[in-house]
Amino acid sequence: MRSTLRHYTLELVIWRDIVELDFDHIIADFLADHAFVDNLISTSRKNLAENYALTTEFFDKQCGLPIAASTKAHRALGALQATEVAKLWTKETDLTAWEHIVLNERVYFPTGQAFCSTEPGWFRFTFAITKEQLVLALDRIGNSFKLD
């Protein structure tokens, strides 16, 4: 029994190492292509800057939500305390508000509890997606903040 278990364990370890080695070679080939890497970095930098500007403009001007300035991340931190929605968003209702946004608007919009914030009303928004997806997500988030 022990030798069989040891045999299967060795097979799993060997299989895992083979897959990782193949994957490592593929990644090494991509990284060896300097033109590809340079283009990827410049394109990503441009897209992230555009998406960051679109995101901060949306939250600041259209929703009135303050966004913490970010220069090196692909996400933004914001606070709902400055909005009408803040009255509804308390520590007790954090999960309820999150469920509303996820289930009704179909946007994953984590509450502050997901990243250990002790104050209610904080959120983290990732904008490292295509511009089309970002516009759709921002539209849906804007709908979730409407108090009708």
Phi-psi region of 112 (alpha: psi -120 to 50; beta: other; left: phi over 0): alpha
17 compared with 30, residue with greater pLDDT = 30
What is the SS3 string spanning 63-130? CCCCEECCCCCCEEEEECCCCHHHHCCCCCCHHHHHHHHHHHHCCCCCEHHHHCCCCCCEEEEECCCC
At 98, list the tokens.
């999150």
Amino acid 73 reads A
Domain-located, residue 31:
no
Indicate whether 66 belongs to any domain. yes
In a domain, residue 4? The reply is no
- Looking at the domain assignment, is residue 30 inside a domain? no
Q: Which domain holds residue 72?
A: 47-144
- Token pair 């060795």 is found at 10
Task: Read off the pLDDT of each residue in 60-74 and give the average, rounded to a whole number.
Answer: 75
CATH of the domain at 73: 3.90.1150.10
Whether the pLDDT of residue 90 is over 80: the answer is no
28 within a domain of the structure (yes/no): no
Residue 105, in any domain of the structure? yes
Other beta carbons within 10 Å of 32: 9
The structural domain count of the chain equals 1
* Residue 88 pLDDT exceeds 70: no
Residue 10 is predicted with a pLDDT of 55
pLDDT band at 147 (very low <50, low <70, confident <90, very high): very low
- Model confidence over 34-54: pLDDT tens digits? 898 899 889 988 998 898 889
Which of the given ranges, 37-41, 76-80, 85-89, has the highest pLDDT on average? 37-41
